[in-house]
Amino acid sequence: MKFNIAIPRTLLPYFRKELALYREQYNANNLHQAWKHLERAHVIGQAYPYEHSYVHWKMLQFGFHIKSMKEIMGQIPRLLVGGVKSFVGTIPVGNTGGSNIPPLKPLPIEKDLKDIFKKAGIAHPGL
């Protein structure tokens, strides 16, 4: 069993970029686009406990902002167990993290995100 502790430094800039784009779109009240960047950050960071939990925290805050009880209630269990699943390496690869997707359902990874993993030299399980 592989334990994931920290996101590789080669992948971290891509994760941070998605979060910066999220904040930019959120502040511009482009909520649909903001959410897309959170989903992308989730896919990039989901194998790493801190990053995975952080994105679910941001998704929970987003749920409060849009007053979505479904998102709020969907994010609470994800926030509680997502980081643990990352640590022990049992993530649903490609899952975008929102409450509109079952939490254990793997999804295909978009080509441009696959390219990010390749550029970062990361052997992601979904590639």
Q: What is the 3-state secondary structure (H, E, C) of 48-69?
A: CHHHHHHHHHHHHHHHHHCCCH
Tokens encoding 96:
């975008």
**Which pTM does this prediction carry?**
0.93
CA R_g for the chain: 14
72 token code pair: 């709020």
Residue 125 reports pLDDT greater than 60? no
Q: Determine the distance from the C-alpha atom of residue 121 to the mean position of all C-alpha atoms in its chain, rounded to a whole number.
A: 19
Residue 103 backbone dihedrals phi, psi, to 5 degrees? -65, -20
- Where do we find the tokens 């430094």? 9
pLDDT digits (tens, 9 = 90+) for 38-68: 999 999 999 999 999 999 999 999 999 999 9
Question: 126 pLDDT exceeds 90?
Answer: no
Q: For residue 73, what are its two tokens?
A: 């209630």
Cβ atoms of 43 and 82 within 8 Å: the answer is: no
So what's the pLDDT on residue 88?
80
- Residue 97: the pLDDT is 95
Mean pLDDT value across residues 81-89: 83
Tell me the backbone φ, ψ of residue 102, rounded to 5 degrees. -55, 135
pLDDT at 127: 54
Question: In the structure, what pLDDT confidence band is assigned to residue 28 with cuts at 50, 70 and 90?
Answer: very high
